Amino acid sequence: MRVLVTGGAGFIGGQITERLAARGDDVVVFDSLTAHKEPPELPDGVELIVGDLRNEHAVRRAVEGVDAVCHQAARVGLGVDFDDVADYVADNDGGTANLLRALWRRSFTGRLVVASSMVVYGEGRYRCPDHGDVRAAPRDRRDLDAGRFEPRCPRCGADLDWAAVPESAPLDPRNVYAATKVHTEHLSFLYGRETGAPVCALRYHNVYGPRMPRDTPYAGVASIFRSALESGAAPRVFEDGAQTRDFVHVRDVARANLLALDGDWTGACNIASGEPHSVGDMARALAAAFSETQGRAGAEPVVTGEYRLGDVRHIVASPDLAADVLGFRAETAFTEGMAAFASEPLR
- Whether the per-residue pLDDT at 43 is higher than 70: the answer is yes
Judge contact between 255 and 18, C-beta under 8 A: no
How far, in whole angstroms, is CA 153 from its chain's centroid? 28
User: How confident is the model at residue 39, as a pLDDT?
Assistant: 74
Q: What are phi and psi of 302, to 5 degrees?
A: -115, 125
Give the pLDDT confidence score for residue 28 in this predicted structure: 98
Domains within the chain, CATH numbers bracketed: 2-124+165-342 (3.40.50.720)
pTM over 0.85? The answer is yes
pLDDT value at 248 more than 60: yes
Please compute the mean of the pLDDT values over residues 109-131 and round it to a whole number.
94
Which residues, including other chains, have CB under 8 Å from residue 260's CB and lie 6 or more apart?
113, 200, 202, 269, 326
- Check pLDDT > 60 for residue 218: no
Confidence (pLDDT) at 214: 78
pLDDT at 211 over 70: yes
Q: What is the pLDDT of residues 153-192, one digit of tens each?
A: 989 988 899 999 999 999 999 889 999 999 999 999 999 9
Contact yes or no for 206/245 (Cβ under 8 A): yes
d(CA 88, CA 91): 5
| Cα separation, 251 vs 237, whole angstroms | 26
pLDDT of residue 93: 96
Closest CA to 319 of 249, 251, 272, 275: 272
